[in-house]
Amino acid sequence: MPSPRVRFAPSPTGYLHVGGARTALFNWLFARHSGGTMVLRIEDTDRERSTEEHTRVILDGLTWLGLTWDEGPYFQGAYAARHQADAERLLAEGKAYRCFCTREELDAQRAQAEASGTAFRYDRRCSRLPAEEVQRRIQSGAPSTIRFIVNDEEIAWDDAVHGRISFQGRDLDDFVILRSDNSAIYNLAVVSDDIAMKISHVIRGDDHISNTPKQIGLYRALGYQPPVFAHVPMILGPDGKKLSKRHGATAVGDYQEQGILPLAMRNFLALLGWAPGGDREIVPEDEMIRLFTLEGIQKKAAVFDVTKLEWMNGQYLSALPADELLAPVRRQLERMAVSTDGRDLRPLIDAVKARSRTILHVAEQVAVRLDPERSTLDPKGEALIRKMGSAFSTNLSLATDALERVAPAEWSPEAVLGVVKGVAETHGLKLGDAMQPIRVALTGSTVSEPVNELLAVVGRDRSLQRLRAFAARWDGGASAG
RNA sequence: GGCCCCAUCGUCUAACGGUUAGGACGGGACCCUUUCAAGGUCCAAACAGGGGUUCGAUUCCCCUUGGGGCUACCA
């Protein structure tokens, strides 16, 4: 068996959406698993809506996800001549005919059909035009399209994910394959290109199922064997509707922006509609490739759960060494206009990554450790201050006084821990009542790495300065603020 | 409306005729840490309904219901 050839064929009329990204991922996994070839084809035949900007964003998105292609990108627009030739060949062979119906006439027929409650099908009136009449109209300059003749017979195929799917020709109508400006309609362009590019497996979204019988008709009329079709389920929003802009972030770039790691995104997407079997959740690339099969793809549409994506991202974040997080965190800090003063960020990243779900979150926390003045008081921090009342600033001052006596050279997690413990003992405080105010003062939050490590990573001078200022601000309890 | 696809916890899924229907996210409880997380343990949570087939159906078939997609000189 020759090695499979697959393609990912986005149209550059929008950004790379998560649904498209997952289709690309499945194509890629299939190609890598089977030792096949992945072709990238940009379907830019909709001139009105296609832009170079979109093309670039789609390519960037695929690259970001690590979905490398072996051929292309090819641009469908370059093959207009072949598309037209294929249409004219079908015309010459009597498998298609010229249609002179105008858009207005067709709209009227459609409206009429709807009014009478019947399904609209093109009534083939132009197929009955005598040859001389067709010639006369062409001569007179009347615009025309080319329609493909759909025979009244069953068109079925064995879908690699759905099994057998069958349509009746009579339910389809003679669809247009070539516009009056001689440009090809999607269904023709795709088939013509897939034939030319020797595509053996068409892996695409479920929403193309109803196009498939038309395309199979075209393959046969053109004299070629249809490829294997695999229709992968849609990705839905939390409300169960097709994922769209109104659901918020749907473009791959949005998640990149939000600090999701490409490996996490790819892992998450792979598990949407496919499972490696067993209880696996975090699946490394080589395993994913080894285990992937079209038969393993789910038939049911899947809801995109951002919370689980973020959990998964957190898993990758915790597992990755600070070295590998350095670049994206730096980039984010730059965006936030945070100066790093040439400091080695790795210890700071290590301090916070286990408690973070996104790069954004890591960067924010790193920024706070670089300069506690950047911290903002979160609701839990505020609640703690309120709950402790005047004890908050009292305990904070007590701890600060003691910490001040630690020499700069001695400032370490161990030393600092000993000091705070000492304060708690001397004044009969629970350790938490001494620790938590420090945490809130330094981070604005009740969640962070162990407080002694936090103090160490922030540094002596910055810590003491911030602690003093914070104690003063909340002197006398929450009423002060 | 017509055609097509789909149906296991709220969500992602495992199960390929015989299981106390498993795991993960999220939720709850507890443990651990003389601090918060993280981590660990446990709990609640599903086979849409009805007919068949079968010794036996979540699993195979049919119907109903529900959801989704398509129905352009868009892709």
Give me the tens of pLDDT residue by residue for chain A, a chain 481 residues long: 679 999 999 999 888 999 999 999 999 999 999 999 999 999 988 777 888 899 999 999 999 999 999 997 999 999 999 999 999 999 999 999 999 999 888 988 888 888 877 788 898 988 898 999 989 999 999 999 999 999 999 999 999 999 999 999 999 999 999 999 999 999 999 999 999 999 999 999 999 999 999 999 999 999 999 999 999 999 998 888 888 777 778 899 999 988 999 999 999 999 999 998 778 899 999 999 999 999 999 999 999 999 999 999 999 999 999 999 999 999 999 999 888 878 889 989 998 998 899 999 999 999 999 988 888 888 788 888 888 888 888 888 889 998 988 888 888 888 898 888 888 888 888 888 889 899 999 998 888 888 988 999 998 989 999 999 888 888 765 554 4
Instruction: Please provide residue A202's backbone torsions phi and psi, each rounded to the nearest 5 degrees.
Output: -100, 110
The active-site residue, picked from A198, A241, A242, A245, is A245
Q: Measured from the CB, is A279 under 7 Å from any atom of strand B?
A: yes
Q: Measured from the CB, is A422 under 7 Å from any atom of strand B?
A: no
**Rounded CA–C1' distance between A217 and B2, in angstroms:** 21
In angstroms, the first-to-last Cα distance of chain A is: 75
CA A105 to the chain's CA centroid: 41
Residue A182: Cβ-neighbour burial (10 angstroms; 0-12, 13-18, 19+) = middle
The whole-angstrom separation of Cα A30 and Cα A3 is: 11
Q: Measured from the CB, is A247 under 7 Å from any atom of strand B?
A: no
Evaluated on CA atoms A281, A283, A287, A290, the torsion sign reads: positive
pLDDT at A3: 92
Q: Which nucleotide is nearest to A277 (CA to C1')?
A: B14
> Which 361-420 residues of chain A approach strand B with CB closer than 7 Å?
none
The two three-digit tokens of residue A186, written as one number: 């999607």
Q: Measured from the CB, is A98 under 7 Å from any atom of strand B?
A: no
Amino acid residing at A376: T
* CA-closest candidate to residue A195, choices A221, A219, A230, A175: A219
Quick count: other Cβ atoms within 10 Å of Cβ A462? 17
Check: CB of residue A282 under 8 Å from CB of residue A267. Answer: yes
The two three-digit tokens of residue A329, written as one number: 């965190």
The two three-digit tokens of residue A222, written as one number: 């053109």
The two three-digit tokens of residue A65, written as one number: 């996800």
pTM exceeding 0.90 = yes
Amino acid residing at A351: A
> Which 221-240 residues of chain A approach strand B with CB closer than 7 Å?
233-234, 236, 240
Instruction: Please provide residue A33's backbone torsions phi and psi, each rounded to the nearest 5 degrees.
Output: -65, -40
The two three-digit tokens of residue A27, written as one number: 């194509």
The two three-digit tokens of residue A154, written as one number: 């069953």
Q: Measured from the CB, is A33 under 7 Å from any atom of strand B?
A: no
The whole-angstrom separation of Cα A436 and Cα A441 is: 8
Helices (H), A37-125: 52-64, 80-92, 103-115
Q: Measured from the CB, is A450 under 7 Å from any atom of strand B?
A: yes
Q: Measured from the CB, is A432 under 7 Å from any atom of strand B?
A: yes
Q: What is the DSSP letter of A152?
A: S
Quick count: other Cβ atoms within 10 Å of Cβ A183? 17
The two three-digit tokens of residue A268, written as one number: 């998450």
- Diameter over CA atoms, chain A: 109
- Chain B bases closer than 7 A to any CB of the protein: 1-8, 10-15, 22-26, 34-39, 67-75
Amino acid residing at A291: L
The whole-angstrom separation of Cα A95 and Cα A154 is: 17
Which residues partner with A422 through β-bridges?
Answer: none
Tell me if residue A245 is catalytic: yes
**Rounded CA–C1' distance between A163 and B60, in angstroms:** 15
Quick count: other Cβ atoms within 10 Å of Cβ A330? 16
pLDDT at A478: 53
Residue A346: Cβ-neighbour burial (10 angstroms; 0-12, 13-18, 19+) = middle
User: 């395993």: which residue's tokens?
Assistant: A287
pLDDT digits (tens, 9 = 90+) for A56-110: 999 999 999 999 999 979 999 999 999 999 999 999 999 999 999 998 889 888 8
